[in-house]
Chain A
Amino acid sequence: MSDRDERIVDPATMQDIMRHRLTRRSVLRGAGTGIAGFSLASFLAACGGDGGGNGGGNGGNGGNGFDIGQIYAGEPGDQINFANWPFYLDQSKNNEGEVFHPTLRRFAQETGIQVNYEDVINDNAEFFGRLQPLLAAGDDPGWDIIVMTNGRYFTTLVANDWVYPLDPDRRPNFDANAASWAKDPFYDPGNTHGMAWQSGITGIGVNRKLVNGEVTTMDDLANPNKVGTNSVGMLEGDMPDWVMINLGIDPTTSGPEEWRDAANWLRMQQESGTVRAYYGNEYLPELQNENLSATMAWSGDVLYSEVWLQYDMEFVFPEDGALLWIDNMMIPAGSQNPVGAMEVMDFYYDPEIATMVTEWVLYMSPIPQTQELIEANAAQAEEQGFKGYANKLYQTARSPFLYPSDEFISRTSFGRDLRTQEETEEWDAIFLPISQG
Chain B
Amino acid sequence: MSAVAAATRPVERQAPAPLHRPNKRWTRFLLPVYTIVMIVYLSSPIVMMILYSFNDLPGQIDRQSARFWGFTFDWWKNVWNIPGLPGAFRNSLKIAFPSAAISTVLGALFGLALGRYRFRGTRGVDFVIFLAIAVPEIVLGASLLSMFVLAGFPLGLGSILLSHIGFSIAFVAVTVRARVQGLDRNLEDAAQDLFASPVTAFFKVTLPLITPAIMAGFLLAFVLSLDDFVISNFVAGQESTFPLWVYGAQRIGIPPQVNVMATILFAAGIIAAITNVVAQRRRG
Asked whether the complex places CB atoms of A and B closer than 8 A, the reply is yes
Chain A stretch 118-134: residues in CB contact (< 8 A) with chain B: 118-120, 122, 130-131, 133-134
What's the dominant secondary structure at chain B's contact region?
loop
Bound Cα distance A233, B19 (Å): 62
- The answer to whether the Cβ of B83 comes within 8 Å of any Cβ in the partner chain is yes
Bound Cα distance A134, B149 (Å): 9
- The answer to whether the Cβ of A190 comes within 8 Å of any Cβ in the partner chain is no
Across-interface contacts of B62 in A (CB, < 8 A):
93, 99
Bound Cα distance A133, B250 (Å): 25
Across-interface contacts of A284 in B (CB, < 8 A):
252-253
Across-interface contacts of B77 in A (CB, < 8 A):
96-97
Binds B, one of A139-147, A207-215, A260-268: A139-147
In the complex, what's the smallest C-beta–C-beta distance from B227 to chain A, in angstroms? 21
> B251 contacts A280, CB within 8 Å?
yes
Bound Cα distance A137, B74 (Å): 44
- The answer to whether the Cβ of B122 comes within 8 Å of any Cβ in the partner chain is no
- The answer to whether the Cβ of B152 comes within 8 Å of any Cβ in the partner chain is yes
Q: Determine which of A98, A119, A120, A288 lies in contact with B81 in the assembled complex, contact meaning CB atoms within 8 Å.
A: A98
> A309 contacts B238, CB within 8 Å?
no
A122-B248 contact, Cβ under 8 Å, with A98-B78, A117-B83, A130-B237: yes
Q: Determine which of A98, A122, A134, A285 lies in contact with B238 in the assembled complex, contact meaning CB atoms within 8 Å.
A: A134
Determine the interface band of chain B, counting residues with CB < 8 A from chain A.
Answer: 20 to 34
Q: Determine which of B149, B155, B252 lies in contact with A86 in the assembled complex, contact meaning CB atoms within 8 Å.
A: B252
> B253 contacts A97, CB within 8 Å?
no
Bound Cα distance A164, B189 (Å): 69
By beta carbon, the residue of chain A nearest B238 is A142
By beta carbon, the residue of chain B nearest A100 is B83
Residue interface mask A266-310, B partner, CB < 8 A = 1: 000000000000001110110011100000000000000000111
By beta carbon, the residue of chain A nearest B255 is A99
Determine the interface band of chain A, counting residues with CB < 8 A from chain B.
Answer: 20 to 34
Bound Cα distance A117, B82 (Å): 11
Bound Cα distance A97, B256 (Å): 13
By beta carbon, the residue of chain A nearest B254 is A285
- The answer to whether the Cβ of B39 comes within 8 Å of any Cβ in the partner chain is no
Across-interface contacts of B61 in A (CB, < 8 A):
309
- The answer to whether the Cβ of B181 comes within 8 Å of any Cβ in the partner chain is no
> B251 contacts A281, CB within 8 Å?
yes
Bound Cα distance A304, B112 (Å): 60
Across-interface contacts of B84 in A (CB, < 8 A):
118, 120
What's the dominant secondary structure at chain A's contact region?
loop
> A310 contacts B152, CB within 8 Å?
no
Q: Determine which of A281, A282, A310 lies in contact with B59 in the assembled complex, contact meaning CB atoms within 8 Å.
A: A310
> B81 contacts A97, CB within 8 Å?
yes
Bound Cα distance A282, B58 (Å): 21
Bound Cα distance A203, B110 (Å): 59
- The answer to whether the Cβ of B2 comes within 8 Å of any Cβ in the partner chain is no
> B252 contacts A137, CB within 8 Å?
no
Bound Cα distance A97, B76 (Å): 11
Q: Determine which of B65, B152, B252 lies in contact with A281 in the assembled complex, contact meaning CB atoms within 8 Å.
A: B252
Q: Determine which residue in A141, A143, A309 has the highest number of CB atoms from chain B within 10 A of its CB, and name it.
A: A309
- The answer to whether the Cβ of B154 comes within 8 Å of any Cβ in the partner chain is yes
> B152 contacts A137, CB within 8 Å?
yes
Across-interface contacts of A133 in B (CB, < 8 A):
149, 155, 237
- The answer to whether the Cβ of B60 comes within 8 Å of any Cβ in the partner chain is yes
Across-interface contacts of A97 in B (CB, < 8 A):
74, 77-78, 81
> A122 contacts B251, CB within 8 Å?
yes
Across-interface contacts of A38 in B (CB, < 8 A):
none
Bound Cα distance A69, B33 (Å): 76
- The answer to whether the Cβ of B123 comes within 8 Å of any Cβ in the partner chain is no
- The answer to whether the Cβ of B66 comes within 8 Å of any Cβ in the partner chain is yes
> B237 contacts A285, CB within 8 Å?
no
- The answer to whether the Cβ of B63 comes within 8 Å of any Cβ in the partner chain is yes
> B81 contacts A143, CB within 8 Å?
no
- The answer to whether the Cβ of A87 comes within 8 Å of any Cβ in the partner chain is yes
Bound Cα distance A285, B62 (Å): 12
Residue interface mask B197-229, A partner, CB < 8 A = 1: 000000000000000000000000000000000
Residue interface mask A124-168, B partner, CB < 8 A = 1: 000000110110010101110000000000000000000000000
By beta carbon, the residue of chain B nearest A138 is B152
A282-B66 contact, Cβ under 8 Å, with A143-B238, A310-B59: no
Q: Given known contacts A99-B62, A139-B155, A288-B63, what 12 new A-B pairs fall within 8 Å (CB)?
A: A97-B77, A97-B81, A120-B84, A120-B248, A122-B251, A133-B149, A134-B154, A281-B252, A285-B251, A288-B65, A308-B60, A310-B60
- 21 A-B residue pairs with Cβ-Cβ distance under 8 Å, sorted by A, are A93-B62, A97-B74, A99-B82, A116-B83, A120-B248, A122-B248, A130-B238, A134-B237, A139-B154, A142-B237, A281-B251, A282-B251, A282-B252, A285-B250, A285-B252, A285-B253, A288-B65, A288-B253, A289-B66, A309-B61, A310-B60
